[in-house]
Structures are given as structure tokens and as C-alpha cells.
Amino acid sequence: MRGPDKNGHFGIYGGRYISETLMPAVIELEKAYKKWKVDKEFKEELKFYLQEYTGRPTPLYYAERLTKKLGGAKIYLKREDLCHTGAHKINNTIGQILLARRMGKKRIIAETGAGQHGVATATVAAMFGLECEVFMGSEDIERQKPNVFRMKLLGAKVTPVTSGSRTLKDAMNEALRDWVTNVYNTFYIIGTVAGPHPYPMLVRDFQSVIGKEARAQIQKQTGQLPDLLIACVGGGSNAIGLFHPFLNDDTVKMVGVEAGGHGLKGHFHAASISGGTPGVLHGNKTYLLQDRLGQIKETHSISAGLDYPGVGPEHAWLHDTGRVKYKAITDKEALAGFKTLTLTEGIIPALESSHAIAYAVKCAPKMKKSEIIIINLSGRGDKDLETVSKEFKFKL
Amino acid sequence: MAKVEKSTNTKKPGRLTTLFNRLKSRKRHALIPFISAGDPDMATTKELIYTLEKSGADIIELGIPFSDPMADGPTIQASYERALKKGATPGGVLKLVRNVRRHSEIPIVLFGYYNPILAYGLERFAKNAHASGVDGVLVVDLPPEEAADLKAALNAVGIDLIFLLTPTSDSSRMDRVARVGSGFIYFVSLTGVTGARVKLSNKIPSYVTKARRHTGLPVGVGFGISTPAQAAEVCKTADGVVVGSAIINIIANTRGKKRVLSEVGKFVSKLKEGVDRA
Ligand SMILES: Cc1ncc(COP(=O)(O)O)c(C=O)c1O
């Protein structure tokens, strides 16, 4: 099972549904990526920054106390929260900015939801001295203030987006509008495995370092492959990054955890695969939360990084083929997962990652003690302290 | 359901081709106003279409409202939002065209995003668009690479699928678009989203000249054009000019249906004078 094909399709999903103005730009990007990804110097530079700047490899940590508490399968955490800037997002922004530099682009733009991708982009732009503008929904600016401040400190311009639901989807619309306007000098660093081809492939490749490391680490530590991989799914970049290197290992099961919000029955969720239907948005065909008439619905999740009505096309395909299962976790369950990990292991997870924890809390007790789960701990929770303190009625 | 007259329709040149041929023989140019279907409501849109025709429009472009119009600037974004709030749907737009056809033969092009059309069903859309009297369809986020299914569905009923060329299009893109497009080529005058601009790019003549080396189709130019003088300028080289946001601004900022119609009529008449000056 390999994708995408040469036009960027994963089965019926993916592709390039964008305005003609951007077609030459994505074709140029695809050519550049093909050229540089096999270039020795490029690969070495990427490896250098991942090691010396990001802090890779990240640990694969045996969560003994969490395992004991749940009383079933052994739980390992892939510690992406320990990456520089606090989430997996930087694995991708380093890769893309190295491409941008080789393509001679002077200006970087990005969309962001939780602000983690925005921070990771602003960070690498600062490092290489490139102008950077980040589009962020005004509602997300409100709920992820620490990250807004970080981006500004890093010299990025943060542009609030007030259209539509004022969250990630609208930030992406605005980033695309900017790109179409400044296409000649601007490189658009997309933060997840969505958008027009080659982005879903390129972001996946840069994030696959997570799964490659985890595969080697678990074998080294336990002498075997894991039985189950769990990762949260917003657009799906941390999930595909963990899953992809295991796709040919037939015994390894995988679950992508979507944001169930207040539950799948109403409209207050962001579970595109569990609660959506195929359609076209932001350059690719995939599962979308949309009404019968093809208008995109407003979504809800307590975690800004999962609050998106679509999902990467490769996930849509992995769902249809049955290789990966997709489940929803509610806001409440995620908050409980957040608390559990914090109290048992002394690790404060991002609310996004808390969805993956919460799913493990549900399924680990039902598994054998000899079985192994790897959870992708995609980010740390500092950015969420305000939201969480409100939910737990704490005073900060 | 109307019966699809496949054989006759694919042979007979459509209203668009007939129009451009007629204009060409008289050395005239097409004025193509764009409005959003359903803003402020479908009944007003219908009357606006008649007003546009009376004031000199040669083709009407009707926007199908979408929740996430990534290629549009603030004016059309807001217009689509108003239309959606009033319940505009693709089915409603087709019904509107059918109603208009009772009194008018003006060529009508639907302009939209792919997802609502996909949700409607491509073949069903083509069949009903044909039955309603639609002449052309342009889908902003559907480049030739992804357009095979819609193209087949529209071909079967003799509706033109119109594609964009842009300042970023190189020769190979131009050839590709020329191969699949029909009706006319819509040349986007600038890199950017829709919306009225104060200044016109001085490169438009060279864009049009370049496009003509790759296609025999008529070339219309749009995006950013907002005054009669600009329309005149564009038509020195192009076969037609599209004006959207400038008209929608009038619709949005004028109170009362009667005044909306008369203000839009006055403005479009002036655009027409500009186009005819070229
Ligand atoms: C920590 C963390 N995890 C997960 C996500 C969701 O993105 P993705 O599904 O692309 O990994 C985000 C997005 O902002 C994030 O910050």
C-alpha cells in the first residue's frame, strides 16, 4: 500500500483542487522536493537540525505508572512534546524551510490553529532570517494566547482571521488568499498533511521521522513490534508520522483519535472521518464535516489544533481500506486523559495529545499485559493551561 | 426531468460561442457582469439579471455561494455569506436560471467552487443545469487535472466548461487549459483574489497576446476591474471583460430594491460605454 500516485491521489482522495494561479507554484514545489529529498547535502542539513536544534531522537518512554494504573497493555510514549518549541510540528517546518531557502523564497506564511505550527514556523523563520506571517483565527488567538506571544517575540506578524468560524479552517483560507497574491516570492509552510499535492506527501515524509525512530526504539527496548499505535488526528500529521513507517507491519494495529467535542450526535465536534463525508476543501478531496449541500460546517473541539472540518487525504484512504481505525474522544474524556497523564507520569500533555491518552485509557485495560501500545505524545500542554484551568475551575 | 438532447446539443454551437462570433464580426467586446446568486435574495437577483441585460451586459456570470470562497476577496466573501444566510443553494441557483429563461436568452455562466457541485452530484448538476438553460460553468478550484468527471458530464449536455489562465501560467499550462476549455478563456488579470482595485496591471495586453498564441478561444479578462475606463482599457486587447466586486459593492451599499436596480443599471450602462469605446 503506497501513495500517492503521480497526481497526488491516495485512492479517490487527495489531488490538486486549487486555483490555476497556484498550479505552477505547487508543481514547482513538487519538482524542488523531488530534487532535494535525494540530495546528500540536503539530507545532512535536515538531519543536523533535527538532531542538534530540535533535539531528536525524542525518547520512547515506558510509562510504567500509567501502565500499572490502567492494568493492561504496556504503554510507551513517543515524546514529541520534548521537541524544541514543544510539539512535533517543528519536524515539518525545518524540512519545509530548508526547501524554501533552496527555492530562493524570501517570505514565509503559515496557518495555525493551536499556534504550535505557527510557533514552529516563526522559529525556523527567525533562525534563517526570513520574513514570516502567520494567519490565525481570532477565536484561536483568544484561547492560545501564550503561543501568539511567542510568535510575536520570534518576529512573526500574526494576522487575526475574523471570517467564518474564526478558527483553523478560516486561517487556511486566508493563508491561501495570501499565497495566491504573493505567489512569486512566498513559500507557504502548511502545518499538516492536507492541502494540494505535494503537501500531504511532503509533510508526511518530514513527520515520518517519528515512526522511524519509534520503530527502532521499541525493537531495541522490547525486542518486538508494538501491537497498537495511537495518535490524535487534527489534519493528521503527527498520526501519519507515527503510523507510516509501520504500515507494512501487518500485526501492528493503528487508531487515529479524532476530536469528539460534545459527542458525535450533534454539531459540536471535529471528527471528520467518524462524522463526515467525502468532499473537496483546501486543495484536496477528503472526509469533511459538511452539510448535505456541500457547505462546510463549523466545528468544535476543546483543543484548537484538532478543531478542523477536514483531515489529510491519506487518512481518508487508510480509513476506507480499513488499515487504520478512527475513533472519537470527547472534550470531557480528553480532559480526564490530561489529568491522568499529568498525575501518574508528571507529564503535562497538550489537549490535542490528551485525546490519544484518553483513548489509551479506554482500551489498554482490555488488552493483555504482554501487549504493547505506543502513544504519540504530540505536544506539551503549557499552551493549554488557561483553557484547562477554566475547565477545572482553577485560578491561575 | 427534462430530456437530455445529447446529439443536437453537442453539435450546435452554444449561446457563448454564438455570442462571441457575433461580437467579433462587429468588432465589439463582451461586457460580463458578475453577481452572487441570492444576494440579497433570489427574487432580487432575478431582477438584477434583467437590469444587467437591459443596461448592456452580454453575458451574466452568477456566483454559486460557498462557505469557504478561498479565491475571493472580502466583497464577494461577504456577499456569499449574505446569500447563504438567505438560504441560497445550487438547486436554488438552477431554479433561478430556469425562471430567467422565461424572459431572456442572455448567455449565463455559473461560477463556483467544486464542493457544492460535487455534493449536488456531477451528472445531476449537468442535467439540471442544461434543463435550466445554463450555458457555461467555471469552477475556480478545479484545474484541468481534476476536471475530467465534470467535463464529461457537461460535455454530454453541451455546456461549456470554462477555465482560468493567470499571470503565473506558463506555455505548458496555457496549452493544457486550451485543450480542455471551451466557451471562452477567463484570464485572471492579477495574482490575487477577487475585489475592486484602484489600478490595473499594465501587463494585461501582453497576457492576452500570449494567451492567444495558445488558444483560438475568445479571451475574457477579470479580477480587480472596477471602472468604465479600466473596462475600456482591457477591451483594447481582450474579447470581453468581467466586472464583479464593483457591482456587488453597489448592491451591498444601496438601500431598497428599486434603488439597487437603478444604481446597478446606471453603473453597468457606463461600463458598457467603456467597453464600446475600445
Ligand atoms: C500538539 C499537537 N498535536 C496535534 C496537533 C494536530 O495536528 P496533526 O493532526 O497534524 O498532528 C496539533 C496542531 O496544532 C498540535 O499542536
- The reported pLDDT for the residue numbered A395 is 77
The residue in chain A having the minimum alpha-carbon distance to the alpha carbon of residue B77 is A163
Select from A215, A225, A172, A216 the least CA-distant residue to A372. Answer: A225
Q: State yes or no: pLDDT of A90 exceeds 60.
A: yes
Domains, chain B, in order of start with CATH, read 28-277 (3.20.20.70)
**pLDDT value, residue A143:** 83
* Predicted local confidence at residue A227, as pLDDT: 98
Rounded to whole angstroms, the Cα distance separating A394 from A276 reads 35
Taking the C-alpha atoms of residue B243 and residue A53, their distance in angstroms, rounded to an integer, is 51
pLDDT at A165: 84
Q: What are phi and psi of A127, to 5 degrees?
A: -60, -40
Confidence of residue B9 (pLDDT cuts 50, 70, 90): very low
Helix (H, G, I), strand (E, B) or coil at A266: coil
User: Alpha-carbon distance B117 to B168, whole Å?
Assistant: 26
CB count in 10 Å sphere of residue B156: 16
Ligand 1 centroid to Cα of residue B111, in Å, is: 35
- Backbone φ and ψ for B184, nearest 5 degrees, come out as -160, 170
Is B141 close to A293, i.e. CB distance below 8 A? no
User: What atom in ligand 1 is closest to the CA of residue A112?
Assistant: 14
Comparing CB atoms, the residue among A20, A22, A173 nearest residue B68 is A173
Ligand 1, atom 4, residue with closest C-alpha: A352
Confidence category of residue A156, pLDDT binned at 50, 70, 90: very high
Q: Is the pLDDT of residue B4 over 80?
A: no
Q: Taking 60 as the threshold, does the pLDDT of residue A121 lie above it? A: yes
Peptide bond into B40 cis (omega under 30): yes
The residue count for chain A: 396
Test site for ligand 1: of A91, A141, A143, A192, most ligand atoms within 8 A of the Cβ:
A192
State the average pLDDT over residues B255-268.
Answer: 97
Predicted TM-score of the model (pTM): 0.96
A314 lines ligand 1 (CB under 6 A): no
Report chain A's mean pLDDT, rounded to a whole number. Answer: 97
Handedness of CA A341, A345, A346, A349 (dihedral sign): negative
**DSSP state letters, chain B:** -PPP-HHHHHHS--HHHHHHHHHHHTT--EEEEEEETTSS-HHHHHHHHHHHHHTT-SSEEEE---S--TT--HHHHHHHHHHHHTT--HHHHHHHHHHHTTT----EEEEE-HHHHHHH-HHHHHHHHHHHT--EEEETT--GGG-HHHHHHHHHHT-EEEEEE-TT--HHHHHHHHHH--S-EEEESSSS-S---SS--TTHHHHHHHHHTT--S-EEEESS--SHHHHHHHTTT-SEEEE-HHHHHHHHH--SHHHHHHHHHHHHHHHHHHHHH-
pLDDT tens digits, B126-137: 999 999 999 999
Spatial CA neighbour of A108 closest among A133, A89, A90, A85: A133
Report yes or no: B246 and B196 within 8 Å, Cβ to Cβ.
yes
pLDDT beyond 60 at B7: no
The x, y and z cell numbers of residue B41, run together, are: 435574495
Q: Percentage of chain B with pLDDT > 70?
A: 96
Kindly determine whether residue B120 and residue A292, on different chains, have CB atoms separated by under 8 Å. no
How does pLDDT run across A300-309, given as a tens digit for each residue? Answer: 999 999 999 9
Q: Are A226 and A372 in contact (CB under 8 A)?
A: yes
Share of chain A above pLDDT 90, in %: 96
Cα(B143) to ligand 1 centroid in Å equals: 30
Q: Per-residue pLDDT tens for B138-175?
A: 999 999 999 999 999 999 999 999 999 999 999 999 99
Residue B52: band (very low, low, confident or very high) from pLDDT cuts 50, 70, 90: very high
Cα gap A214→A177, rounded to integer Å: 38
- pLDDT value of residue B206: 97
Report, as an integer, the average pLDDT of B47-61: 98
Cα gap A364→A304, rounded to integer Å: 26
Across A216-225, A269-278, B8-17, B76-85, least confident range: B8-17
A295·B116 Cβ contact <8 A: yes
Q: Which of residues 139-168 of B touch A (CB under 8 A)?
A: 140-143, 145-146, 163-168
B76 pLDDT tier (thresholds 50, 70, 90)? very high
In this structure, what DSSP letter does residue A154 have? T
Q: What is the ipTM of this complex?
A: 0.95
pLDDT value of residue A164: 84
Looking at residues B112-117, what average pLDDT do you find?
A: 98
Q: C-alpha A140: how far from its chain's center?
A: 16
- Please name the amino acid found at residue A249: D
Look at residue A276 in the predicted model and tell me its pLDDT: 98
Residue B8 has pLDDT above 70, yes or no: no
Task: Determine the 3-state secondary structure of A383 from DSSP.
Answer: helix
Q: Rounded to the nearest whole angstrom, what is the distance from the C-alpha of residue A5 to the centroid of ligand 1?
A: 26
Please give the Cα distance from A159 to A175 (Å, whole number): 10
DSSP three-state, residue A211: helix
Residues A190 and A210: their CA atoms lie apart, in Å, by 18
| Long-range own/partner contacts, residues B11-19 (CB < 8 A, 24 or more apart) | B12/B158, B14/B107, B14/B135, B14/B136, B14/B158, B14/B159, B14/B160, B14/B183, B15/B105, B15/B107, B15/B135, B16/B59, B16/B107, B16/B109, B16/B135, B16/B136, B16/B160, B16/B183, B16/B184, B17/B160, B17/B183, B19/B58, B19/B59, B19/B107
Task: Note whether A16 contacts B68, CB cutoff 8 Å.
Answer: no
Reported confidence tier of residue B1, pLDDT bands at 50, 70, 90 = very low
Q: According to the model, what pLDDT value does residue B3 have?
A: 40
Please compute the mean of the pLDDT values over residues A282-294 and round it to a whole number: 98
Cis? peptide before A198, omega within 30° of 0: yes
State pLDDT tens for residues A32-87: 999 999 999 999 999 999 999 999 999 999 999 999 999 999 999 999 999 999 99
Q: Give the model's pLDDT for residue A1.
A: 58
**Average of per-residue pLDDT across B171-194:** 97
What stretch of H or E contains A220? Answer: helix A209-222
Confidence of residue B196 (pLDDT cuts 50, 70, 90): very high
Phi, psi of A287 (to 5 degrees): -75, 135
Q: What chain A residue is nearest to B144 in terms of C-alpha separation? A: A20
Which segment of A163-172, B38-47, B205-214 scores lowest on mean pLDDT?
A163-172
